[in-house]
Amino acid sequence: MALLDQKILYFLKVVETGSFSGAARALYLSQPALSKQMAKLEQELGFSLFNRSGYRPVLTAKGQLFYQACIRLDRQCQEMLDQLRQLDPPVVNLGFTGSFENREILAFLQEYQKQQGIRLNFVQGDFEQCLHDLLRGKVEVSLGIESTYRYSSGVEYEILHSYEMCVLTSCSHPLTQRSQVDIREIAGEGFLCLSPRFGKGFYKDYMAAFAKDRIVPRIVKEVDSFDELVFSVSLGEGIAIASKNVAGEEVRAIPLQGSHHASNYVIACRKQESREEVRQLMAAAKAHFQR
């Protein structure tokens, strides 16, 4: 951010490049427009900055003193801005899919902000968007399930905890009275699942788990959000396999047994991430869930 007058910045560029033509190119100005600005600056100052008698402009004695003063002033302005920015709490941008499925960590994050004097800026998206935002640098940290980040070579993550996998059914489904369900008992059911649009890695792991269970699922509907998944289950459009934490009161969540379906909750960052605030947050989150 430049605090100096625009004409002074033009003047510094002329001295830096050694010519009006070179400065004009660097500033994307026409040479006559730049010369006009320099003439106006000299008029305001009341003395000449350049000796223009030669092939290239040469600073006059007063111009040299003015140049040195401008350099010092520009440096002081930048130092002042740096000091002022340090007074603001550092910001860490954090990607997440939604408050409902991330509720176990929200209390920790709120307390962490207060204790560490940082500000967390939450950016919401689906699984794919969270990964995309992390890789692009829109967020420095991302929360979600392991399958979202497992297949990206540019990401590293820490597992915070494992989810309890359940069968989600409508409140009127025959299985609602069961305390647990084996995967083989529901092999012939119609399944609802999150689509690849919501998360390619998630969908890949979801179908792979069925293959390991030696089941070819009858997918009756693919949806693009957890809210839509739970809503469709509540209407009796099919059953779903998901973690218990996404289930609301409108559906029943029955523990699933004998299946390869599994899900880990993780905190992720880019492998090249060097910000101390990010690394400290990652370590603190891991320590919190290991207690």
Q: How do the domains of the chain map onto residue ranges?
A: 6-87, 91-161+265-290, 164-262
For domain 164-262, which CATH number applies: 3.30.70.260, 3.40.190.10, 3.40.800.10, 3.40.50.10490?
A: 3.40.190.10
91-161+265-290 in CATH: which number? Answer: 3.40.190.10
Q: How confident is the model at residue 244 (pLDDT cuts 50, 70, 90)?
A: confident
Residue 69 has pLDDT above 90, yes or no: yes
**Dist. CA 140–CA 1, nearest whole Å:** 24
If DSSP codes are grouped into helix, strand and coil, which group holds residue 95?
strand
Report pLDDT digits (tens) over 99-110. Answer: 666 777 888 999
Output the pLDDT for position 2: 60
**Dist. CA 221–CA 170, nearest whole Å:** 15
Report pLDDT digits (tens) over 15-67. Answer: 999 999 999 988 888 999 999 999 999 999 999 999 988 888 999 999 999 99
In whole angstroms, how far apart are CA 215 and each of 166, 202, 240? 17, 18, 14
**Dist. CA 44–CA 3, nearest whole Å:** 18
**Dist. CA 55–CA 188, nearest whole Å:** 88
The fold for domain 6-87 equals Arc Repressor Mutant, subunit A (1.10.10)
One fold for 91-161+265-290 and 164-262: yes
